[in-house]
Amino acid sequence: MDSQPDPRSLAAARFNDPDAAPAPLSAADDAARLRAAWRRTLGSALLVLAGAALAGFAIGRPAALLALAAVALLAWHYWRLHRVLGDLAGRQPEPGRGRDAWGELDRRLRRNQAQMRGRQRRLLDMLRAYRAATAALPDAVVVVDRNTQRILWFNRAATDLLGLQHPRDVGAPVAERLQPLPMAQWMASGRNAEPILDAPAPADERLRLTLRLIPYSDDYWLLVARDVSKLLHLEQMRRDFVANVSHELRTPLTVVHGYLDMLDGEEMPEWAPMLAEMQKQSQRMTQLVEDLLTLSRLESRESLPEETVAMAPVLATLRREAEAFSQGRHVIEVRDLAGCDLLGSTRELHSAFSNLATNAVRYTPSGGTITIEFSRSSDGGAVLAVHDTGYGIPAEHIPRLTERFYRVSSSRSRESGGTGLGLSIVKHVLGLHQARLSIRSSVGQGSVFACHFGPERVRPVHDQATHGATP
Ligand code: ADP
């Protein structure tokens, strides 16, 4: 499918066009030609008058013959004017042949007309080609008048995906025609409208669409809808596959892990190093499967059951876990400066915070300090930040840290039992709480991983007795 008219075919069309304008003269030739035409017109008028005067003197009636010649000249000019006007009105098939001023005027008018017609035809061809291209797009395209929010034009795919019918829906209000899509609120946000990533198609409930609003001019907006059903289906299949594989691996791993735990290295000293390694690896695999299952569970949910999360016990547990993981190699500090609780899922938030605290211990050499701080933010929200004085992260890795299995140093992560999924889980948990993760780090000095919660997630502390002092 051609989206652009072929310039060669346009050139060919122009070549065969009977209206095509003759090759233009240079400006100097054109001016010379015009001067010659004027000279010829003036010369012939003078010649006619001089001839009439001579003949008049010869027969002794110069005045009468001069008057006759003047009338004849006037009549001839009237006739030429008539021809040119007839030509303009499209009645004269032949171009004027004279080489005088009238002929020149005739030629110029014809040339301009031909140029204009050629230009119009080319523009029309181009317009048709662009329309054909847009009409043939597999995505639904709807042109909407911004002020009236009415439909001006739509392509064929808009009929299949959005259920718009030609000509019934041309001029119809877009919000009304595309129900049940939340068009009214969406259009109201105008240029700031975020794309709708997954919505059922009005024409067919089984189809899933992404919709995008493109304000391409002050008066017109383009609504583009794409069928993403297959993509979403593939994504769902991938998620199901990972969840199923993880689930299937869980039981055999538990059995292997259980038997390995029963084997005592002290009873078989020659096997002790191998047993220890096997136990470590089976522990890693179990953790990997658990993390994959957690991620699948989080991905399949759009929201979590909410409750008031008492932060004092959460912070106390985080401290205990960090101390247990550190085994005395780090200084662990916990500060509660917020004096509030959070609204969310205790289980998931604890798992996210715990991942950050464990990472801080994991990536901080012995003797370092880990500080877990819960405080209020200036917008009325709350922040849980985990500071460490560890290895730090080079800036180029920071944007990718929350991708699955993305590691700055794979060996360091594996040695310390990391799965590469921790920050992915944190990101998903925070997403389900409309919160965000910020990461600041400098190599050799340490990192700060902070979870930012909006004011709507902040709850007053219920039980002052259990809150207050750092646990
Ligand atoms: P892992 O299980 O490997 O720790 P995560 O998703 O939790 O996986 O973290 C991804 C990567 O981010 C880690 O492999 C590590 O390279 C880096 N990282 C995470 N937390 C820290 C930290 N506090 N200091 C330095 N690097 C970190």
Going from the Cα of 281 to the center of ligand 1, the distance in angstroms, rounded, reads 19
- Ligand 1 close to Cβ of residue 326 (< 6 A): no
pLDDT tens-digit series, residues 184-198? 888 877 777 888 888
Average pLDDT over residues 356-363: 96
Per-residue pLDDT for 199 more than 80? yes
All structural domains of the chain: 7-127 (no CATH), 137-227 (3.30.450.20), 232-299 (1.10.287), 307-466 (3.30.565.10)
Per-residue pLDDT for 337 more than 70? yes
Going from the Cα of 409 to the center of ligand 1, the distance in angstroms, rounded, reads 8
Per-residue pLDDT for 252 more than 50? yes
Query: How far is 197 from 400, CA to CA, in rounded Å?
Result: 22
For 83, list phi and psi in degrees, rounded to 5.
-65, -45
- Ligand 1 close to Cβ of residue 354 (< 6 A): no
- Ligand 1 close to Cβ of residue 291 (< 6 A): no
Strand-pair category, 340-344 with 307-309: antiparallel
Name residue 177's amino acid. Answer: R
DSSP code of 173?
B
Please report, in angstroms and rounded to a whole number, the separation of the first and last CA atoms in the chain: 69
Helix (H) or strand (E) holding 438: strand 436-442
Q: Please report which confidence band the pLDDT of residue 104 belongs to, taking 50, 70 and 90 as the band edges.
A: confident
Atom of ligand 1 nearest to the CA of 446: 24
Going from the Cα of 301 to the center of ligand 1, the distance in angstroms, rounded, reads 25
pLDDT tens-digit series, residues 205-248? 889 999 999 888 888 999 999 999 999 999 999 989 999 999 99
Helix (H) or strand (E) holding 372: strand 369-376
Candidate from 401, 405, 419, 424 with most ligand 1 atoms within 8 A of CB, to mutate = 401
- Ligand 1 close to Cβ of residue 446 (< 6 A): no
Q: Please report which confidence band the pLDDT of residue 4 belongs to, taking 50, 70 and 90 as the band edges.
A: very low
Per-residue pLDDT for 150 more than 50? yes
Sign of CA pseudo-dihedral 271, 277, 283, 286: negative
